[in-house]
Amino acid sequence: MEKRRFIRHPLSYPVRTRLCGAHQEPGHIESVSENISEGGLQFRSLRPLPVGAEVEIDLEVEKRSFELDGRVVRCRRHKTGGFLVAVAFHSTHELLKARMMEQVVRIELFKQRLERRYKRPCDFSWVAGEWIRRYSASFAHRYDPGGAS
């Protein structure tokens, strides 16, 4: 049974999933993420996906594309229709991409907070620099309890 070890962020981003390996099929499943964490993501699907299936996922986060590989660990019918599919990332390389993706998400949330505070649009590059200056050390510490950045 999968244990929830990572913080889940309830974020909706475009997801394009392709089944690989023994479950390979032509075409993609277009969807939207329900939540994202360092260890995986959950998205809705109009059809069920087999538990254990290997998948390739293209995820667009704030106009940045991430290609992720994982395995379907859960698929259950959703009360409003369709299915909720949970995918676990299965390599260190995928976890690094997820870490980068989470950092982009945190910067975007910081940007939204600043825009609400100052009641005007903020440049993403400036916001990213400010976020890195203020929060990157604590963010890196979350991933490496030894404190290395």
Name the more confident of 16 and 91. 16
How far is residue 72's CA from residue 111's CA, in Å, rounded to a whole number? 32
Checking if the pLDDT of 146 tops 50, the result is no
Domain ranges in the chain are 14-91, 96-143
Do residues 108 and 62 make contact, with C-beta atoms less than 8 angstroms apart?
A: yes
Q: Enter the DSSP assignment of 22.
A: G
The length of the chain in residues reads 149
Checking if the pLDDT of 9 tops 80, the result is no
Residue entry with tokens 């009360």: 79
How far is residue 21's CA from residue 40's CA, in Å, rounded to a whole number? 19
Q: Find the helix packing angle between 124-143 and 92-118, rounded to 10°.
A: 130
CATH superfamily of this structure's domain 14-91: predicted glycosyltransferase like domains (2.40.10.220)
How far is residue 122's CA from residue 137's CA, in Å, rounded to a whole number? 23
Residue entry with tokens 């994202």: 36
- pLDDT band at residue 149 under the 50/70/90 scheme: very low
Do residues 105 and 99 make contact, with C-beta atoms less than 8 angstroms apart?
A: no
Checking if the pLDDT of 8 tops 90, the result is no
The reported pTM is 0.68
Mean pLDDT on 120-145:
80
DSSP string of 24-40? --SS-EEEEEEEE-SSE
Share of the chain above pLDDT 90, in %: 37
What integer pLDDT is reported at residue 2 of this predicted model? 47
